[in-house]
Amino acid sequence: MNLHEYQGKEILSSFGVRIQRGIVASTPAEAVTAAQKLTEDTGTGWHVIKAQIHAGGRGKGGGVKLAKNLADVERISGEILGMMLITPQTSAEGKLVNQVLIAEDVYYPGDSKPEEFYISVLLNRATGKNMIMYSTEGGMDIETVAEETPHLIFTEEIDPLLGLMPFQARKVAFNLGLSGTAFKEMTQFVTALYTAYIKSDAAMFEINPVLKTSDDKIMAVDAKVSLDENALYRHKEYEAMRDLREENPIEVEAKAAGLNYVKLDGNVGCMVNGAGLAMGTMDLIKESGGEPANFLDVGGTADAQRVETAFGIILKDPNVKAILVNIFGGIVRCDRVAQGVVDAYKNMGDKITVPIICRLQGTNAKEAKELIDNSGMKIISATEFQEAADKVQEVLSV
Ligand code: GDP
Ligand code: MN
């Protein structure tokens, strides 16, 4: 689950990671109040107005701006709130900005080259260990750094039993070229950051930039935080941070119905039981010249109710021109699933506007095929995997 910058910073701060302070606002009036409060707390007269969307590169897209007085705060917030922000990480139409973060300006005005670092914590899937990835090239696109100057990216792998060792935190600070107070600050920053990552069951932290202020403090200016959804049951307070406005509405509905659905760009809807078979089905559709419109795993209980919900969700996508049902009957018998498909089809009537190709294989596959063929419904049955994919192509080409 992805979080907004202000939420990520809240989590970091709760574990003692120093952050650029800020207050979130939904209207220009709230933004002004937030700025006044920050001035009281921090003494800063300047503020940065930062669009809160689930995408990076906001600075480049005009979603991060400096305000030098309250009139600026009001005007800039008004401009950013409600805009469709386009960044290198959004689609071409951009993302609607519902909230802005009013943050204290932490860049020293006379400082032409503030020291910015890149630090992320993530799982190295190749070794199965968490690692800290860091670079002196903060504030830049890390992909560009990786391409052009890969020697400026360092990694530090963490032993899952020992945790982050003090010498490792010092190594990070050393490689970032720090000394004195800033060195000590950085070791504390990295240690707190790693603790936050572990304790919050995060999937990824990316802090870009980490800033060294002119008085040698180390702080997180940005925070891209992604939490492990499977661990959310342990963190009710984080669960409430989910912003459904940032997610695909069909995926949200599917999740609520207990279906594992991911929207894709193609035109062949798929309904499959089991994630592995669903991946295989998508591959086969592509191999046969089609494009999958979604990933959908209906799970073990493919009864009429579930199949109907799944059809409904697949058909919400206007690009879908055919649906391929591919079920392997292991524990769940094929004839029961076939009955489910037929019943769902009956219930939905003219809501089903595209051809359905149904391939059932496994226990009672023969009975299932008969059931479908004799149902009088416009469902095309298939037995073999390839046969099913070919039939999809056939209906698409007419
Ligand atoms: P991103 O573009 O989505 O990654 O958003 P960031 O939070 O990283 O902000 C983009 C850029 O805005 C940063 O790289 C900084 O250079 C700049 N920025 C952020 N906070 C401040 C601030 O307090 N003062 C000034 N002057 N610039 C800031
Ligand atoms: Mn950033």
Q: Are residues 181 and 117 in the same domain?
A: yes
Q: Are residues 253 and 325 in the same domain?
A: yes
279, 357: one domain? yes
In this structure, the answer to whether residues 84 and 118 fall within a common structural domain is no
- Write out pLDDT tens, residues 181-193: 999 999 999 999 9
**Which ligand is in closest contact with the Cα of 85?**
1
Q: Is the CB of 219 under 6 A from ligand 1?
A: no
The residue among 55, 85, 105 that closes a domain is 105
pLDDT in tens, 95-106: 999 999 999 999
Closest of 205, 59, 78 to residue 132, by C-alpha = 205
Mean pLDDT along residues 13-26: 98
**Number of neighbours of residue 354 by Cβ within 10 angstroms:** 16
Q: Does residue 234 share a domain with residue 116? A: yes
Tens digits of residue pLDDT in 230-272: 999 999 999 999 999 998 889 999 988 889 999 999 999 999 9
Q: pLDDT band at residue 108, thresholds of 50, 70 and 90?
A: confident
Which CATH number fits the domain that encloses residue 263? Answer: 3.40.50.261
**Confidence label for 304 from pLDDT (cuts 50, 70 and 90):** confident
pLDDT of residue 271: 94
Q: Which domain CATH number covers 28?
A: 3.30.1490.20
* Ramachandran area for residue 298 (φ above 0: left; ψ -120 to 50: alpha; else beta): alpha
Distance 215 CA to ligand 2 centre (A): 22
64 lines ligand 1 (CB under 6 A): yes
Q: Is 53 in the pocket of ligand 1 (CB under 6 A)?
A: no
Give the pLDDT score at 126.
Answer: 95
Q: Mind listing the pLDDT tens digit for each residue in 312-327?
A: 999 999 999 999 999 9
Dump pLDDT digits (tens) for 348-370. Answer: 888 888 999 999 999 999 999 99
Q: What pLDDT sits at residue 84?
A: 97
Q: Minimum mean pLDDT among 44-48, 105-109, 119-123, 365-369: which range? A: 105-109
Average pLDDT over residues 29-35: 98
- Given a cut of 70, whether residue 387 has pLDDT beyond it is yes
Answer whether 59 contacts ligand 1 (Cβ < 6 A). Answer: yes
Q: Which of 82, 105, 128 corresponds to the end of one domain?
A: 105
List the one residue out of 10, 19, 15, 3 whose CA is nearest residue 195.
15
How does 213-229 read in b/e, with b if 16+ C-beta sit within 10 Å? beebebbbbbbbbbbee
The yes-or-no answer on residue 118 being catalytic is yes
Atom of ligand 1 nearest to the CA of 60: 2
Task: Tell whether 65 and 171 lie within a shared domain.
Answer: no
- For the chain, how many structural domains are there in total? 3
Mark whether 34 and 122 lie in a shared domain: no
The finding on whether 85 has its CB within 6 A of some atom of ligand 1 is: no
Report for 133-142, 182-191, 246-255, 300-309: range of highest mean pLDDT? 182-191
pLDDT on residue 112:
64
Asked whether the predicted pLDDT for residue 301 surpasses 90, the reply is no
Query: Is 233 noted as a catalytic residue in this protein?
Result: no
User: Which pLDDT score is estimated for 350?
Assistant: 84
Q: What is the pLDDT of residue 72?
A: 97
From atom 15 of ligand 1, which residue's Cα is the shortest distance away?
A: 139
- Annotated active-site residue in 206, 238, 261, 308: 206
Q: Is 295 in the pocket of ligand 1 (CB under 6 A)?
A: no
pLDDT at 111: 66
Catalytic residue among 118, 238, 261, 345: 118
For ligand 1, mutation pick of 44, 48, 115, 141 (most atoms within 8 Å of CB): 48
Report which secondary-structure segment, H or E, holds 76. helix 70-80
Residue 223 sits in the same domain as residue 339: no
Q: Does 57 share its domain with 168? A: no
Residue whose Cα lies nearest atom 13 of ligand 1: it is 139
CATH number at residue 207: 3.30.470.20
Tell whether 112 and 228 lie within a shared domain. yes
Average pLDDT over residues 35-47: 94
Of 196, 229, 246, the residue that ends a domain is 246
Find residue 262's DSSP bridge partners: 295
Distance 47 CA to ligand 1 centre (A): 11
Range of the domain at 4: 1-19+108-246
Q: Which two tokens stand for residue 226?
A: 């992604």
Atom of ligand 1 nearest to the CA of 208: 8
Looking at the structure, tell me whether residues 210 and 185 fall in a common domain.
yes
Q: Are residues 340 and 198 in the same domain?
A: no
Output the residue whose Cα is nearest ligand 1's atom 10.
59
pLDDT band at 165 (very low <50, low <70, confident <90, very high): very high
Mean predicted confidence (pLDDT) in 332-343: 88
Q: Is 114 in the pocket of ligand 1 (CB under 6 A)?
A: no
pLDDT value of position 333 = 87
- Residue pair 101/24 in contact by the 8 Å Cβ criterion: yes
